[in-house]
Amino acid sequence: MDGGSASSASLDDVADERLLSTGPVTVRRRVRWGECDPAQVVYTPRFSDYLAAAFSWFTRIILSDKLIAKDGTRLATPMKALSLEFHHTLRPDELFDMAVYVEAVRERAFDLLIVAQSPSGEPRFIGRLTPIAIDSSFRSVVLPGPVEEALFTYRKSWRSPADTPA
């Protein structure tokens, strides 16, 4: 033992996933060895887990106290759609950052763009998620006003890279 304390280590050395920023919501993730195939490349299905983790952070930070139906029950937001576009392989212990942007807000659903890049800014992948609001009977419901307001405010504050002219 070298006698060094854990507090002197970088969080990136000890955390597999951590919040970097709340504006836009940005999560740093480390690829775990068990997420990779024998060629040491991340299994394709793991990317949906990465998107789900980014969505979970976004929900906790932006929507956690707002997903309440008119009758006071808690709403759920399962995925209606998911898409991925790959730009670079990910390998064990590699770090990448996922920034979450609101692309669209509709009556019962909204679209999120999740842009993943290396800590130095090199593209890794882009994901799109479409959560839909459902009640306890598993029926879609209109987004509550506070949810809609929070999504529009976030979108105005943190413009999606897709909104930027090339």
Q: Name the pTM for this structure.
A: 0.86
Per residue of the chain (166 residues), what is the pLDDT tens digit?
444 444 445 655 657 889 999 989 999 999 998 888 898 888 888 899 999 999 999 999 999 888 877 777 788 999 999 999 999 999 999 999 999 999 999 999 999 999 999 999 999 999 999 999 998 889 999 999 999 999 999 999 998 787 665 5
Q: What is the dihedral of CA 15, 16, 21, 25, to 10 degrees?
A: -160
* Fold observed for domain 14-158: Thiol Ester Dehydrase; Chain A (3.10.129)
What gap in Å lies between CA 43 and CA 68, rounded to an integer? 36
Beta strands in the chain (DSSP E): 17-22, 25-30, 79-86, 95-105, 110-117, 123-131
CA distance 36 to 66: 36
